[in-house]
Chains A and B, each alone.
Chain A
Amino acid sequence: MTETGIQSAHIHERTEEIFKKPQLQEAYRSSTLRLYTHRLQAIGEVPGFEALRDRARALKREVIEHLDEYLAQFADNVERSGGKVHWAETGDDVCRIVREIAQQAGVKEFVKSKTMVGEEVELNHALEAAGIRGVETDLGELIIQLAGDRPAHIVAPAIHKTRQDVSDLFVEHLHAERTTEPERLTAIARRALREAFARAEMGVSGANFAVAETGTIVLVENEGNIRLCTTSPRVHVALVGIEKLIPRFEDLAVFLRLLGRSGTGQKLTVYTSLLTGPRRAGEDGPDEMHVVLVDNGRTAALADEKMREALYCIRCGACLNACPVYRKIGGHAYGWVYSGPIGALITPQFNGIGVARELPFASSLCGACREVCPVRINIPDLLLHLRAEAQNQASPAPSGGSPRGERVSMRLWAWAMKRPRIYSLGGRLARWGQKFYARQGWIRKLPLFPMSRWTEGRDFPALAPQTFRERWKKLT
């Protein structure tokens, strides 16, 4: 059974767990490093890439600052082209809407392409409960569906799975012959998926972009399964987070040049589908096209003038690949479907800081994420804001310790730092105290939490025998 809900409170246990699995850490390290390197090569080939990022940021800012207007324009244009628009405030609403569409169309099984919103609202579970079975058709998503896992990465959901893992899953669930050759594994998945495509009467997709000017849904992919999901079944349902809008059709030129390069280092993904309404007479395509516009916490993020910047995200995954913390702890430690730096941001933003108060602290604030973000989201700065929000809540201090311990010690610290004599006295007391712990200038085990955690894996330097201020007199 796949994990559900928001499990971000377990980040510390999960971090400990992954440190017992060096192979898993190595899988994350090598895969993210590969994607990171590919990105660097790909952006090097584009003159004016930095200007392109500025342009994309300005466009996203424009949309987010006037989201109500762009949403209305987009919805009008979807309806005008023959599509049906649904508004979903919560994840439950999304599931209910899709279930009703399926039931009205008499659908028992549907094919699904990779959609993070679908993961977010746990669509497969909800529909399965109503007797409607969804088959994931993205290879990575299929693998994690069979494994009963959650996506471990925004663009590479099965980044944590080895060939051997995939082989085992295919043998068990698809009754396939045992092989670890990527080509043969792909062929096995393809065979199983073709059957599902042939049976399915509904296809569910996400959306990479939604063009307000034309009511067009834009989807990028490498496998071709999205194109099949959205064109072959009778009914197409697109789940669209309300932040996915871009103003004009021509703006796609900016975003498509950024997305592939930032995410996987591709100039362009293999397939780019532009879908405007259901099929017209004499054309192929679905009879019905439904667009579900999803809030599910996004308007809460929008309400904060500063924090709404997180909604610029185009889900390229570059920040995960660049993040030294993600590389160590992996995707599942973050406890929800979005992981890495952007996950640490939007998980508390969409769901409330109370359920994910540890996440903003799971960062060394190094800024590597901001450096690669195609829309230049100032992730470290926003994480700092969330830390302040977390501390303003009257619940236990993040990252362990007694509930009020950290706050009390910070108050005490501030009190001392405002008084140079108390500060100096504190230093003298600590110098006296460290006699019992320090050996040759180093402390191997510090007594007090949280500093005791420092010496779990490294030594701590003893305080210098004399402070700078004491030595200053001799310097002059």
Chain B
Amino acid sequence: MTTSKPRVAFFVTCLGDQFFPEVGECAVRVLRRMGAEVLFNPAQTCCGQPAFNTGYRDEAREVAARMLDLFDDADYVVTPSGSCSTMVRVFYPELFAHDPARLEKAQQLRGRFYEFSEFLVKVLKVEDVGASFPHRVTYHDSCHLLRELGIAEEPRRLIRAVRGIELVEMQDFRLCCGFGGTFSVKFPEVSVAMGEDKVRAAVEAGAEYLVANDSGCLMHLAGVIHRRGLPVKTMHLAQLLAQTEEAADPRLAAPAIEASRP
């Protein structure tokens, strides 16, 4: 056991910063509760993924290059997003393949860059984070987390350790929800139809909450739910794990999207 607190730089992601600050707050609360010292560098913006996934590699590289220098003072970088983790860990080395100096920095960053649930289970070695949530939930594997990083068990272990919770699996739980970054606006009808399938599966599983680790998937699914008025709510895993029996902050007791809405 280490005696000093691990120093964790928090990467909130651009989507998290602008749309879902409560997700970031919850992640920070849980990390602190588990004994981490959390730092936040306000110079951070985006990891560059939107440009990269749309084929604008030069633009992505410019934005990504900034990220390489932002977290030097921390032992770890943690982000509540599987897809931003994938961008840094899988695609940065590819993006900087022809730039030896940056490639080295990218490799160095990659080695201490973790997705939130992965960090809790693999680095802090905790599963029970002291959360309580007496509801029936289902977990959606976002694709980057599942297939690029191979993280499927960690979030489930964390969920199962929550007091009072019931975790049910959806039909085809490994199937993509249809968000896909800019795919969501390039092929909107396909994206929405895939989202409807996912939400239907959650409803059919009898879940009150559809939990995932990526705000992109969640905002897409919540958008489908809200448009159709469907009987299920979305929630980020960080929000779920922040719920405790004595949760004083009413914002934290509310589900993802609604929480921040006045």
- A-to-B contact residues, CB < 8 Å: 12, 15-16, 19, 324-325, 328-329, 360-368, 370-371, 381, 384, 386-392, 398-400, 406-407, 410-411, 413-414, 416-418, 420, 423, 427, 430, 440-442, 444, 450-451, 453-454, 456-472, 475
Q: Contact check: which of A381, A441, A444 meets B260 at CB < 8 Å?
A: A441
A465-B226 in contact given A361-B186, A417-B48, A420-B43 (Cβ < 8 Å): no
- Assess the A329–B222 pair: CB atoms within 8 A: no
Nearest neighbor of A406 in chain B, beta-carbon distance: B54
Contacts of A464 in B (CB 8 A): 18-22, 260
Question: With A and B bound together, what is the CA distance between A362 and B144 in angstroms?
Answer: 17
- Assess the A361–B18 pair: CB atoms within 8 A: no
- Assess the B181–A365 pair: CB atoms within 8 A: yes
A325-B187 in contact given A417-B63, A441-B262, A459-B223 (Cβ < 8 Å): yes
- Assess the A387–B54 pair: CB atoms within 8 A: yes
- Assess the B45–A423 pair: CB atoms within 8 A: yes
- Assess the B188–A456 pair: CB atoms within 8 A: yes
Nearest neighbor of A390 in chain B, beta-carbon distance: B55
Question: With A and B bound together, what is the CA distance between A420 and B44 in angstroms?
Answer: 7
A328-B193 in contact given A387-B53, A407-B56, A441-B261 (Cβ < 8 Å): yes
Q: Contact check: which of A398, A400, A460, A468 meets B16 at CB < 8 Å?
A: A468
* Interface SS, A side: helix
Besides A387-B55, A461-B219, A469-B42, 9 new A-B residue pairs in contact (Cβ under 8 A), listed by A number: A15-B189, A325-B190, A365-B183, A367-B148, A371-B147, A388-B55, A418-B45, A453-B185, A460-B223
Question: With A and B bound together, what is the CA distance between A444 and B227 in angstroms?
Answer: 8
Residue interface bits B172-202, CB-to-A below 8 A is 1, else 0: 0011101111111111111111110100000
* B50 close to A (CB within 8 Å): yes
Q: B11-57: which have CB < 8 Å to A?
A: 12, 14, 16-22, 24-25, 28, 40, 42-46, 48, 50-57
Shortest distance between the CB of A376 and any CB in chain B (Å)? 12
A324-B178 in contact given A417-B46, A442-B226 (Cβ < 8 Å): yes
Shortest distance between the CB of B229 and any CB in chain A (Å)? 10
- Assess the A328–B20 pair: CB atoms within 8 A: no
Contacts of B50 in A (CB 8 A): 413
Q: Contact check: which of B57, B190, B261, B262 meets A329 at CB < 8 Å?
A: B190
Question: With A and B bound together, what is the CA distance between A417 and B72 in angstroms?
Answer: 19
Shortest distance between the CB of A126 and any CB in chain B (Å)? 34
* Interface SS, B side: helix
A364-B14 in contact given A388-B55, A414-B59, A464-B260 (Cβ < 8 Å): no
Shortest distance between the CB of B134 and any CB in chain A (Å)? 26
* B135 close to A (CB within 8 Å): no
Q: Contact check: which of B186, B190, B191 meets A398 at CB < 8 Å?
A: B186
* B84 close to A (CB within 8 Å): no
- Assess the A413–B51 pair: CB atoms within 8 A: yes
The 9 closest A-B pairs by CB, nearest first: A441-B261, A364-B180, A387-B55, A457-B192, A366-B176, A458-B223, A367-B147, A414-B59, A391-B55
- Assess the A467–B21 pair: CB atoms within 8 A: yes
Question: With A and B bound together, what is the CA distance between A371 and B24 in angstroms?
Answer: 31
A468-B24 in contact given A19-B193, A454-B223, A459-B227 (Cβ < 8 Å): yes
- Assess the A388–B57 pair: CB atoms within 8 A: yes
Question: With A and B bound together, what is the CA distance between A77 and B214 in angstroms?
Answer: 55
Question: With A and B bound together, what is the CA distance between A410 and B20 in angstroms?
Answer: 23
Contacts of B176 in A (CB 8 A): 324, 364, 366, 368
21 A-B pairs within 8 Å (CB atoms) are namely A15-B187, A19-B193, A361-B183, A363-B183, A364-B143, A364-B178, A364-B179, A365-B53, A365-B143, A367-B147, A386-B55, A388-B56, A414-B59, A453-B185, A457-B227, A458-B224, A463-B18, A468-B17, A468-B21, A468-B25, A475-B28
Nearest neighbor of A361 in chain B, beta-carbon distance: B186
Contacts of A386 in B (CB 8 A): 55
Shortest distance between the CB of A368 and any CB in chain B (Å)? 7
Contacts of A367 in B (CB 8 A): 143-144, 146-148
A453-B188 in contact given A420-B45, A465-B262, A471-B25 (Cβ < 8 Å): yes
